[in-house]
Amino acid sequence: MIEVNGLTRTYGAHRAVDDVTFRAEPGRVTGFLGPNGAGKSTCMRMMVGLTPPTAGTATILERQYTALPNPGRHVGVLLDASAQHPGRTGREVLTLGARTMGLPKGRVDELLEVVGLTPVEAKRQVRNYSLGMRQRLGIAHALLGDPKVLILDEPANGLDPAGIRWMRSLLRGFADEGGTVLLSSHLLHEIEVIADDLVVIGRGRIVAQGAKQELLATAGTSVTSTDNQRLGEALAGQGVSVTAVGQKLRVDAEPIVVGKVALQHQIVLTELTSAGAAGLEDMFLQLTAGDAREGVAA
């Protein structure tokens, strides 16, 4: 479990992280979303003792990260795949980690196989790795100590579609076995697919959090019909909020409500779905609109 309470970090007059509180539970993947500069990475650095908080606390497995004995055996961390020593081989990076944690040599071979780095690639210097290979190596290092908690910042960067699917399966399996996963990503679709819970941060503050399904339910319904104008007026007459989005209507109500109104007014529906992933993206952009930079989340 990860528990963050009132976490705050200031730099002079600038408050980079402002009273952030949330929990990441065992057996669940928690998606951590926020635009560039929102304070997400600063939060993660404070969780693992790399940046001291101005106020508040962050505990992992009920202890501060720096107080954990041999922390790599309890918490796997990947904050920057490019931070690995460029002059060492992938195998050397993992071997040094294994020695530091007191692990057997065989653990290195196990993890190289898990993340799909071949023996030839393992002998190659990290400076010659692609970003995707560095991500795989970083994930291998995070898993090296067989931890109970994973804290990963943008682990899908540089991975091809097959690699993203592999990572998704790996993290889902880790959580299903009782592990805790805190995953930050700008790939909203990947978060929507894998996450059980969502924490959205903007301007250093939490702007939304909760179970994914509960948050997506608030995104409403996407609908099109043979007469969108009349359908919109009929829904508005029932006190339902309606927004035109291109050729569709975004309705703040369950699909069954929309269907009943359409039936009452004899309007033929051509599409009726929950907002789903599009709703997650709309919710994210709406909640963080004042903090977005070039419309890219990170």
Give 83-97 pLDDT, tens digit per residue.
Answer: 899 999 999 999 999
Kindly report, residue by residue over 17-55, the tens digit of the pLDDT. 999 999 999 999 999 988 777 889 999 999 999 999 999
- Give yes or no for residue 185 having a pLDDT over 70: yes
For the segment 100-128, the average pLDDT, to the nearest whole number, is 96
DSSP secondary structure string, 166-222?
HHHHHHHHHHHTT-EEEEE-S-HHHHHHH-SEEEEEETTEEEEEEEHHHHHHTT-EE
Q: What is the 8-class DSSP label of residue 297?
A: B
Q: What's the CATH number of domain 220-274, 3.30.1540, 3.30.43, 2.115.10, 3.30.70?
A: 3.30.70
User: Which is nearest to 22 in space by CA: 6, 11, 35, 10?
Assistant: 6
| 2-209 classified as CATH 3.40.50.300 | yes
Kindly report, residue by residue over 190-211, the tens digit of the pLDDT. 787 899 999 988 889 998 899 9
Report the alpha-carbon distance of residue 150 to residue 43 in Å, rounded: 15
3-state secondary structure of 235: helix
User: Would you kindly state where each structural domain of the chain is located, as residue ranges?
Assistant: 2-209, 220-274
* Predicted local distance difference test score (pLDDT) of residue 294: 44
Please list, residue by residue across 38-66, b when 16 or more beta carbons sit within 10 angstroms of its beta carbon and e when fewer do: bbbbbbbbbbbbebebeebebbbbeeebe
Average pLDDT, the chain: 89
Report the alpha-carbon distance of residue 257 to residue 92 in Å, rounded: 60
Kindly report, residue by residue over 274-285, the tens digit of the pLDDT. 766 555 666 666
- Give yes or no for residue 235 having a pLDDT over 80: yes
Residue whose entry in the numeric block shows the structure tokens 């190659």: 124
Kindly report, residue by residue over 47-59, the tens digit of the pLDDT. 999 999 999 999 9
Question: 50-59, 117-126, 149-158: which has the minimum mean pLDDT?
Answer: 149-158
Q: Are 250 and 242 in contact (CB under 8 A)?
A: yes
pLDDT confidence band for 296 (50 / 70 / 90) = very low
Q: What percent of the chain has pLDDT over 90?
A: 69
* Predicted local distance difference test score (pLDDT) of residue 37: 79
Residue type, 102: G
Q: What percent of the chain has pLDDT over 70?
A: 91
User: Which is nearest to 70 in space by CA: 101, 107, 38, 95?
Assistant: 101
Neighbours of 290 (CB within 10 A): 9
Q: Are 197 and 29 in contact (CB under 8 A)?
A: yes
* Predicted local distance difference test score (pLDDT) of residue 288: 65
* Predicted local distance difference test score (pLDDT) of residue 217: 67
30 Ramachandran zone, left/alpha/beta (phi>0; psi -120 to 50):
beta
User: Which is nearest to 42 in space by CA: 30, 29, 56, 25?
Assistant: 56
* Predicted local distance difference test score (pLDDT) of residue 297: 40
Report the alpha-carbon distance of residue 8 to residue 54 in Å, rounded: 5
Report the alpha-carbon distance of residue 177 to residue 95 in Å, rounded: 26
- Find the DSSP H helices in 102-158: 106-115, 119-122, 131-143
For the segment 176-192, the average pLDDT, to the nearest whole number, is 87
* Predicted local distance difference test score (pLDDT) of residue 244: 87
